Amino acid sequence: MINPLVGMPQGLEWLVILAIVVLVFGAAKLPDLARSSGQALRIFKTETKDLREDDKADKAATPEQREIQTRNEARDETTGDVVRERRDDTTA
């Protein structure tokens, strides 16, 4: 059986990688790089959580509830009128 940690860097290798990163990006840019990557991971995490919650809500809803929800989403929020798409027979 293959050990999954065979290719992982350890100890001194991490220090060499860190030194290369500091040389490439510069010490002044590292906090900005870490901040932006942390923010991107936070956004990704919240989006995946929202998608999972939406899937759970869709599975729990009956077909009638889904139909009512789509009708409500199709209404104009300001007037309450049903929004319809205008079609003309011209080509763009």
Q: What is the pLDDT of residues 34-67, one digit of tens each?
A: 899 999 999 999 998 988 887 776 666 677 777 7
Report pLDDT for 27: 84
- The tokens of 21 are what? 């990163």
Query: Rounded to whole angstroms, how far apart are CA atoms 17 and 65?
Result: 54
Q: What is the pLDDT of residues 25-35, one digit of tens each?
A: 888 888 888 89
Whether pTM > 0.95 for this model: the answer is: no
Report pLDDT for 72: 75
Q: Which residues contact 66 (CB under 8 A, 6 or more apart)?
A: 58
> What distances in angstroms separate CA 37 from CA 6, 9, 64, 83, one per listed residue?
27, 21, 42, 40
Residue 83's nearest CA partner among 72, 68, 69, 67 is 72
- In the chain, where the domains are located: 33-74
Report pLDDT for 54: 77
Residue 44's nearest CA partner among 36, 33, 56 is 36
Q: Is the pLDDT of residue 85 over 70?
A: no
